[in-house]
Amino acid sequence: MAQIDKQFGDILRKIREARNMTQEAFAKFCGISRAYYGRIERGEHSITLEQCQKIAEATGLSMAELFKDIV
């Protein structure tokens, strides 16, 4: 399970960096606490579907797009 968390965190990092945003700015943009978002991005915490939906809506991506590169 930890491998999936790490992969998803890496995907979020790429999305955030492509937008030239700090963790704090991206978390605020998505309506998530910065501390929680930091743990997700580092793969230390499993994200909930509710939080995934917040990120998808904020970024204009579908849920499928968020998970498409996880193997």
The reported pLDDT for the residue numbered 22 is 96
Q: Contact, 52 vs 63, CB < 8 A?
A: yes
pTM: 0.90
Q: What is the CATH classification number for the domain harbouring 56?
A: 1.10.260.40
Do 34 and 24 form a contact (C-beta atoms < 8 A)?
Answer: yes
pLDDT in tens, 6-53: 999 999 999 999 999 999 999 999 999 999 999 999 999 999 999 999
pLDDT at 69 over 90: no
Q: What is the tally of structural domains in the chain?
A: 1
Domain range for residue 7?
2-67
Q: Which pLDDT belongs to residue 1?
A: 60
